[in-house]
Amino acid sequence: MRLKLFVIVVLSICLQSVSADEGMWLLGNLQKNKQAKRVMKELGLKMPVSKLYDPKKPCLADAVVSFGGFCSGVVVSEDGLVFTNHHCGFSSIQQHSSVEHDYLKDGFVAHTLQEELPNPELYVRFLLRTEDVTKRVLAATKDANTESERKVAIDSMMVVISDEVSKNDSTLTGVVDAYYAGNEFWLSVYRDFNDVRLVFAPPSSVGKFGWDTDNWMWPRHTGDFSVFRIYANKENDPADYSPENVPYCPEYVAPISLDGYKEGSFCMTLGYPGSTERYLSSYGIEEMVNGMNQAMIDVRGVKQTIWKREMDRRPDIRIKYASKYDESSNYWKNSIGTNKAIRHLKVLEKKREAEAALRDWIQAHPTEREKLLRLFSNLELGYSQRRETNRALAYFGESFINGPELVQVALEILNFDFEGEEKQVISRMKKLLEKYENLDLSIDKEVFAAMLKEYQIKVDKRYLPAMYAQIDTLYQGNIQTYVDSLYATSLVTTPKGLKRFLEKDTTYNLIEDPAIALSIDLIVKYYEMNQSISDASEQIEQAERLFNAAMRRMYADRNFYPDANSTMRLSFGSVAGYSPFDGATYDYYTTVKGISEKVREHAGDIDFAIQPELLSLFSSRDFGRYANEKGDMSVCFISNNDITGGNSGSAMFNAKGELLGLAFDGNWEAMSSDIVFEPELQRCIGVDIRYVLFIIEKYGKATNLIRELKIDR
């Protein structure tokens, strides 16, 4: 019976032999991964695996970029055009928008290079090569006696190895990342391009069709794409923005297929997934559910309600708040779905079964028993010791650090290095001034008051910062009066206070400004709370690392992909529909017919409003060469590829390495996928490349862009 249970556990959780569609594989050791190579071929891969990644020759991975460090993108022309998601370019589109030129609402088209819009804070990053540096990094820990000493030694060596790259070539950036909970370390060498210009954006009625209602949902009808261009100097090297720069000539250009896909077609994604916790213990998952996820659900729900109300009332506020609302609501809904899926799919129960199997394995092996005798007791004790404080810290971060923008501005000023390198000082100052430009004080006051009330309700009084005592004594417990007074007396509500400080105005003491003083109190409280759980956190970090290593030893005959950590990864699988619940079956693609249906179903809802000329274009059925085999216009499709945040904008390729679409979302029923992969349910949602080109050519009239592309049919 025990053997039978062990087999069931192995087959039912993420810590088992990887299925065809599960996995975020490192490219650096792909050639050695015989299992992954074999499965890709069985699923239908028609190109040599060596053509996917080769640090010495042009390859498919050379067309894939990290977009801004938070998304992915793909190079599609010899003149450096990059396709990414609309929500990835959303902030840049918003920065160029105004009530007079509302590119968020109406879209943007550059018909010439001169019309393309620069984005000085945006960059794209190309991966040149990876290298396993585990032995070198861990060698630095030989004299470390505690977890904190180990961490310091590792961090120092990671910096040394990273710095060696840029010292040898100033155009390169080296980054050492930890894998498998700190058991392995790899160096990635990148080349960054800092002159990236906006070329095309569809109207939000296309790029954000359905907004929060449809976010993370299938069936989907969102044309989630935007187009940028990379610029370089005349030697084709990275350069800061200059009118003299020219379009970048890339190493490799992704070809585009108009042939589409069928159910079961091979599909692979290349991109930069952000973060997963597939190997986290059940104790860590439970903490995540009740801490960070719940705090995000509760606090952001309050803040976003205020923002959305005002955004719907005023066009200027909609433009100012669109990008930050989009970012906030995306992870808010993700947290709701994740917690729901964890409970519905019994993720904790599955993890605990796996841990029971690991306990038995440890007991059955004397050498393991000697090393890991206290593993589970240390995990349980560590998490229990920090449970309440860690939960309070989650609410603290959401309520204050990530809450009122006045606090964010004040913290930015406090942490500003005015004596730093000129280029970085100018860059950070621009970002700070942009915060002011997109800040409405009346809205922020309402948010601040709401955050103060929400935090007070959710945490024990011992976690209240000093301002609560001030509210009680000086303002008779009236939170609104306190907030009104704070905003009325602080000079950092506008750039005026910052200007007086920079000009060394002796009549103005920055540290005594009420908003700055409040932020200092918050920092002190945050530090105090973190320090109180530092020993427990150190114990947890060590135990999770040992837990991860033990799981890999127990299944030593299997290939383990590491958790996502914003490095380039390959995922592969098949185009496939799914059954979300008994009696329901979802097809693997959607068409523009569904757009019209949703417009009618949600009549009067601004999130589903669409321009009449677009509806007319769809109803004309003049889809040309972009029509699918039935003569319809496909919009989105799904595959069982692995996906998480950061994968947004990832290239979705067919068996020959041709672009099928751009990944932009996961699905609601499998929102626990960052923790456990559910092969029957998990799907990657992508926008069909044919719909992208249709909107560019037929709606945007940007035939100049279509001519740049390498289109195969």
Q: Which residues participate in catalysis according to the annotation?
A: 87, 224, 648
Instruction: Output the 3-class SS for 441-467.
Output: HHHHHHHHHHHHHHHHHHCCHHHCCCH
108 close to 225: Cβ distance less than 8 angstroms: no
DSSP-derived 3-state class of residue 185: strand
Gap between the Cα atoms of 129 and 144, Å rounded:
30
609 close to 209: Cβ distance less than 8 angstroms: no
Gap between the Cα atoms of 570 and 398, Å rounded:
33
The percent of the chain in helix, strand and coil, each rounded to the nearest 5, is 50, 15, 35
Instruction: Output the 3-class SS for 526-593.
Output: HHHHHHHCHHHHHHHHHHHHHHHHHHHHHCCCCCCCCCCCCCCEEEEEEECCECCCCCCCECCEEEHH
- Helices 347-364/2-12 angle, 10° precision: 130
**Alpha carbons within 13 A on the beta-carbon side of 70:** 10
**Token pair recorded at residue 459:** 């945490």
708 close to 81: Cβ distance less than 8 angstroms: yes
> Nearest to residue 387, comparing CAs of 276, 544, 529?
529
Point out which residues pair with 227 in neighbouring strands: 83, 200
**Token pair recorded at residue 535:** 């020993």
- Give the Cβ contact number of residue 585 at 10 Å: 9
Gap between the Cα atoms of 621 and 253, Å rounded:
31
Helix (H) or strand (E) holding 392: helix 375-396
Query: Which residues does 35 contact at the CB level (< 8 Å), separation at least 6?
Result: 18, 559
Amino acid in position 337: G
> Nearest to residue 126, comparing CAs of 216, 223, 249?
249
Query: Which residues does 635 contact at the CB level (< 8 Å), separation at least 6?
Result: 220, 221, 222, 223, 589, 590, 591, 592, 594, 595, 687, 688, 691
